[in-house]
Structure 1
Amino acid sequence: MDALSEDLELLPATRRSLRHRIAVAQSEGRAPSVVAAVVRGGEVVWEGSATSVEGHGPDGDVQYRIGSLTKTFTAVLVLRLRDEGLLSLADPLEKHLPGTGVGEVTIAQLLSHTAGLAAETPGAWWERSSAQLRPELADVLGEVPLRHEPGRRHHYSNPGYTVLGSLVEALRGMSWDEALRAEVLEPLGLTRTTSLPHAPHAGGWAVHPWADLMMPEPLEDLGIMAAAGQLWSTTGDLARFADFLLRGDARVLSPESLREMRTSAAPPEPGAAELGYGLGLQLLAHGGRRLVGHSGSLPGFVAGLWLSEADDVAAVVLANVTSGLPAATVAAELVGLVADAEPRFPQPWRPFRAEDEVPLELCGTWYWGTSPHVVRLRADGSLELGPTAATGRTARFRPGSDGSWTGLNGYYAGETLRAVRRGDGSVSHLDLASFVFTRDPYDAQAPVPGGVDPQGWRGIG
C-alpha cells in the first residue's frame, strides 16, 4: 500500500475514545440506547453502541427516527428538480404551487429557512398529535403563516419544509415518499431508510427528569408534515448518505449541486454556534472546524449527522430518548476525536503532465494599483490569486472553455477573470470584475481606470 493512501482502519486508542464517548453519552444522557458510526474516506471505519439492556446492543441495521434530518433528503429532491430545469431556486412558490397564501416566497428561501414562515403549525403540537388534525396545507400554514418579511432573516420553519414536500408532489405527480424512494433511497442503496418503521427498530422513550423511570412516546405518522421529519433510518444508511453529501452521485445529485447545498444561504442568528444554514443543511463551527449536516428530534428520538469536508470524516449518532442526550453535539465530537487523533494525509504534490498546456505567462506578481498580488497555477487546473501581504482578498478560480476563469470563493466567487492580450498575443493585464491587474504598479501601457499620470513615479520636488 502507498504510504499516503492511508489505512482507513482506526488506531486502537481512537476506537477506545469513540467507545468511551458513546458510553458517557448514554450514561449521562440516560438514554435507553445510543448507536453511532464514523465514516472516513468513504468507508465506515467504526460502529458502536451503548444500551441499558445488557447483552442486547443495537447495531447499524436498527432503525431510529431521525426527525429533521429528513429535511436534507427533501432538499436533495428539490435540487434535483432544479437541475432538471423544472424550477429555479429564485422562482416564487406561486409559479409551481398556487393558492398557498405564501406564493411570494421563493424556493431558495424555503430551503434556507428565510421565507419568514412560522416555526410550527397552528393548534396542537404536530409531532405528538394525529396528522388528521392537519389534512391540508392550509391547516399547516394557518391563517397568519408569515412571522417575518420573506428574505430578511433566518427563522427555522417546519411548515416551510412541508410546503417543499407538497412542491415535490406537484411537480413529480407522485407522493413525496414515492419520489424519495425512487430518486434517492433506491439509487443510493438506502434500503433501511423508510417513512414507517420496519423491524428491527427502536421504540421511542421519554425518561422522567427526576427519577430513573421511562414512558413510551406515541409514534405518530406525520401525514402531510412528512417532508419535515418523517423518516426512520439506521447508522449504516446515514453513513452512506453522509458520504453522498460530500462526494455526490451522478444518479442522484452532482458534486457541484451538493457543494451549493453546503454553502451558507442564510446568516446565523446572533450568538449561535451555527455558521448559518445552507440549502437543507446546517453549518456548524465546532472545535475549530467547519461542519455540515443536520440535527433531528421527534418525541422519543434524537439524531445528529455531521461531516468535515476538510478532514473527510463524518459521524452519525442516534438515540431513542426524547431529551437529555445531545446527539448532534456528540456526533460533532466524534468527528473531532477522529480528525484530531488521526489527521488526514494531504494529497501528494504532483506537477503538470508533459502534455498539459500551461499558461505560464499568467504566473507571478501582478499589481492591483500599488498592491502586489501573486498568481499561481495548480496541476488540477485551478488558478489562485492572492495578495502578498498577510491580509486581503484571496480566491481560487476554475478554468472555462473560453480561456476565462470563474471565482470559486470569497469576494470573487462567481466573478470572471480574463487575461487581456495585446495584438502580438502577449498578456497586457488581468481583468477581474472591473479591477485591472498589471505587471508593474499603475503600468502606463495598460488601461488603468482613471489613467496614469504622464510624469510617472517621482519624488518630492
Structure 2
Amino acid sequence: MLDITRLTDALTAGIPELLDAHAVPGMAVGVCTPTQVLWSAGFGTTDAGGRTPVGTTTMFSVQSVSKTYTATAVMIAVKQGRVALDEPITTYLPTFTVRTRFEDRPERKMTLRHLLGHTAGFTHEAPVGSNYVDGGESFDEHCASISDTWLRFPVGHHYEYSNLGIDLAGAILQRVYDVPFHEFVRRELLAPLGLTRTTFDQDAIAAEEDRAIGHNPQVPHLPVRIPMVPAGGIYTSVDDALRYVQFHLRDGEKVLDKELLATMYRVPFPAPGQALGYGLGVQTSRWEPGVVVRHHGGGGFGFLCDVGWAPDPGVGVVVLTNSVDHPLTGRESLAQRIMREVVESTAASVPTASSTTATPAAPTHRAPVPASEAARFVGEYISRGASLARIRSEAGRLVWDEGGDDDPDQLRVTGRDEIVRENDGSATYRLLPGTDGAPAYLQCLDDGSTWYRNDRPGTAGPPLEARWHGSYNVRVNGSTVLTVELGVEDGASHLTVMGVRIWLDQIGPGLYSSGDGEVLDLTRTPPTCANIPLHRDISTT
C-alpha cells in the first residue's frame, strides 16, 4: 500500500485553514488506487454557518462531473446494442430540430459522438432551464427548448463545451429505454458499482438529509432541483466518487468493456497531431509533473469540484466543495497539487505513453512562410468566458497579446495556417475557415480549444437602433452577476462584456450573430444573448 501519511497529515492540518481563508463552508477530499481508498475525509459543515459536519458519505453536487457519468451510461447502452455512436440522433429523437445559419437540417448530421464530444455546434444554455434562470421546469421541458437555440458553428467543425449535447444524450437514453434517465443510470451503472450515495434523482436529492448546501455570496437563493440533469444534476459523496474513479482505473470492471472506455477517452474529431483534450464526457490533460490525467471539473449553484484519475501511476483524486468563491479547484487546483504529491511520493518514473495513455504527436513544422501570409493571423480572437487575445505585428514579428500583457508571447509562423506560441509551452495553433472560406477560428492543436475571430463586420447591415443602446444586467435566479452594454461604433453594432467588445452582424430582423458565434435575439422579452436574458433594469436587487 502506498504510504501517503505525510501528505494526509498535512492536508488534515491545512484544509481547515484553507476553508477559513476562502470562506468555504465544507469540503470532502479523497485519494485512491485501483484497489484501495488510501484516504478520505470531510471538513467544515454542510451549510454556511451550519452545525452539521461534512463526512465522507455527505452528498455534494458535482455539477459538470455529471457528464462523465452520463457518457459512461451512453457507452453501456452502446455495449448493449441499443444505441450507436455514429447514428444520426434523429433516429432516436425523430422530432428534434435546431436553428442554424450554416447548413440545412443539421440535426440529421449530429450523432451521439458529436453530443458527448461537444462538437455538435451547440451553445451552452437553453431558453428553458439554465444556469441563469431556473423556474422549476422539468428535464423534458428543458430538452424541448433546445430546438429554439442557434448553433454557433457547423456540426462537427470543432470542439466547444456545451451542456446541451449532454442533456440530449440523456434524453436519448430515456426514450430508448422508456425509463427516466436517472433510473437507467441507477440500474445500469450506479447499482452494479455499489454507489448508494450517488444519484441523478432530483426527488431523492431534495429529500436527502446528509447533503451539502451550495454557497454563493453573490446569489443567496440557489435551487436544489435543476433541469439540466445529465449535464449537471448528479450528487455524490467523496467515498462514492472514489469508487467511481476506481471503476475507471480498473478498466470498467464487468460493467463496461475496456475498448469502449478507450473510445470514451479518445478525442473524437482531433486536430492534426492532437491526442489530449476532450473525449466523450471526459477531459484528458497533462498535469505536473508530466502525468496524463483523465478528469472533469464542475461548478455552479454554489458548488465547485474536481475528479481525476491518472492511469499510469494508478492514482485517483477527488475534491468536493460547497462554495464557488475560492481558488481550490480549476487550474493549479488542490486536486492537482494532491496528485503531484502522491505521484512524486512513489518515486517512480512517469511513462510518456502506455496502452491507455495517448501522447500528442509532434506537429509537422513547415518552412517559414512569407510575411504576407503571416498577416492572415493578425486580428482579435475571443475564447470561452469572453477572454480576448490580439495577434499583432511588432518589429517584424507576430505577438500574442492577451489582456495587455507586459511581455506578450512571441509567435512563430510554421505554415500558411499554423503558428507556434513560443512562450506558452510551444502551443501550436491553426486557422480554421468559416463558411465563406475566410479565417474565422484559431484552434489549439494541443487540446482542441478554439478562439473565435472577432473581426469588425464588413457588411453589417443597419446598426442597432438607438432604443437598444445602453446597459443590461445578467441575473442568476434574480441576483445581478454581470453587466453588458449594447451600442454602435462608426456604424457597426457591438456587445461589450467584461470590457471585451464583441462585434455584431445582423442575420435577420431583430437577430444578430456575435463574433464568438452566439446570437443576440431582440425579438424576445427580455432580449437574450446566447439564450441568457438581458435585463434593462441594472439595479442589483
TM-score interval for Structure 1 and Structure 2 normalised by the shorter chain? 0.5 to 0.7
Note if contact 1:25-1:325 (Cα within 8 Å) is conserved in structure 2.
no
Q: What secondary structure sits across from 2:108 in the alignment?
A: coil
Structure 1 runs of 4+ off > 4 angstroms?
52-56, 344-347, 394-398, 408-411
Quote the residue 2:322 is aligned against. Answer: 320
Quote the residue 1:422 is aligned against. Answer: none
Q: What secondary structure sits across from 1:156 in the alignment?
A: coil
String of CA shifts for 1:393-412, please: whole Å, max 9, x gaps: x99899xxxxxxxxx9888x
1:330 to 330, 334, 340: 334
Q: 1:35 offset after TM fit, Å?
A: 1.1
Q: 1:64 offset after TM fit, Å?
A: 0.8
**Deviating more after overlay: 53-62 vs 173-182:** 53-62
2:151 to 122, 146, 149: 146
1:393-404 equivalences under 5 Å are none
TM-score norm. by structure 1 comes to: 0.66
Note if contact 1:100-1:137 (Cα within 8 Å) is conserved in structure 2.
no
1:7-26 equivalences under 5 Å are 7-8=1-2, 10-19=3-12, 22-23=15-16, 25-26=18-19
Note if contact 1:302-1:327 (Cα within 8 Å) is conserved in structure 2.
yes
1:252 to 246, 251, 255: 255
2:135 to 130, 133, 146: 130
Q: What secondary structure sits across from 1:284 in the alignment?
A: strand
1:41-60 equivalences under 5 Å are 41-51=34-44, 57-60=53-56
Whether 1:340 aligns to 2:344 is yes
Q: 1:321 to 1:151 in 2, by over 3 A?
A: same
What are the ranges of 5 or more consecutive residues in structure 1 without an aligned counterpart? 1-6, 209-214, 269-273, 348-393, 399-407, 412-461
Q: 1:19 offset after TM fit, Å?
A: 3.0
Q: What secondary structure sits across from 1:180 in the alignment?
A: helix
**How many Å separate the matches in 1 of 2:165 and 2:297?**
17
Whether 1:97 aligns to 2:93 is yes
TM-score norm. by structure 2 comes to: 0.57
Note if contact 2:59-2:235 (Cα within 8 Å) is conserved in structure 1.
yes
What are the ranges of 5 or more consecutive residues in structure 2 without an aligned counterpart? 98-106, 362-541
Q: What secondary structure sits across from 2:183 in the alignment?
A: helix
Quote the residue 1:85 is aligned against. Answer: 81
String of CA shifts for 1:105-151, please: whole Å, max 9, x gaps: 11101111011111111267446512428753564314243111111
Q: 1:129 to 1:14 in 2, by over 3 A?
A: same
Note if contact 1:122-1:142 (Cα within 8 Å) is conserved in structure 2.
no
**How many Å separate the matches in 2 of 1:137 and 1:48?**
36
**How many Å separate the matches in 1 of 2:248 and 2:322?**
25
**How many Å separate the matches in 2 of 1:54 and 1:221?**
21
Q: 1:29 to 1:111 in 2, by over 3 A?
A: same
- The residue type equivalent to 2:81 in the other structure is G
**How many Å separate the matches in 1 of 2:187 and 2:158?**
34
2:173 to 164, 168, 180: 168
Quote the residue 1:373 is aligned against. Answer: none
Whether 1:37 aligns to 2:30 is yes
Whether 1:65 aligns to 2:61 is yes
Note if contact 1:217-1:299 (Cα within 8 Å) is conserved in structure 2.
no
Note if contact 1:302-1:325 (Cα within 8 Å) is conserved in structure 2.
no
Whether 1:184 aligns to 2:197 is no
- The residue type equivalent to 1:327 in the other structure is T
**How many Å separate the matches in 2 of 1:128 and 1:237?**
30
Greater strand percent: which structure?
A: 2
**How many Å separate the matches in 2 of 1:56 and 1:133?**
31
- The residue type equivalent to 2:58 in the other structure is V
Q: Larger Cα Rg: Structure 1 or Structure 2?
A: 1
Q: 1:54 to 1:232 in 2, by over 3 A?
A: closer
String of CA shifts for 1:175-224, please: whole Å, max 9, x gaps: 1011011001111000001233222111111236xxxxxx754224223x
Q: What secondary structure sits across from 2:304 in the alignment?
A: strand
Q: 1:200 to 1:168 in 2, by over 3 A?
A: same
1:298 to 297, 300, 309: 300
Q: What secondary structure sits across from 1:45 in the alignment?
A: strand
Quote the residue 2:216 is aligned against. Answer: 206
Quote the residue 1:240 is aligned against. Answer: 243
1:276-425 equivalences under 5 Å are 276-287=277-288, 288-328=290-330, 329-343=333-347
Q: 1:143 to 1:237 in 2, by over 3 A?
A: same
Note if contact 1:63-1:199 (Cα within 8 Å) is conserved in structure 2.
no
**How many Å separate the matches in 2 of 1:55 and 1:132?**
32
Whether 1:218 aligns to 2:198 is no
Q: 1:237 to 1:136 in 2, by over 3 A?
A: same
Q: What secondary structure sits across from 2:266 in the alignment?
A: coil
Q: 1:395 to 1:178 in 2, by over 3 A?
A: closer
Q: 1:128 to 1:49 in 2, by over 3 A?
A: farther
**How many Å separate the matches in 1 of 2:350 and 2:338?**
21
Quote the residue 2:112 is aligned against. Answer: 107
**How many Å separate the matches in 2 of 1:51 and 1:17?**
16
Q: 1:397 to 1:261 in 2, by over 3 A?
A: closer
- The residue type equivalent to 1:69 in the other structure is V
Q: 1:342 to 1:55 in 2, by over 3 A?
A: farther
Q: What secondary structure sits across from 2:10 in the alignment?
A: helix
Quote the residue 2:267 is aligned against. Answer: 264
- The residue type equivalent to 2:197 in the other structure is R
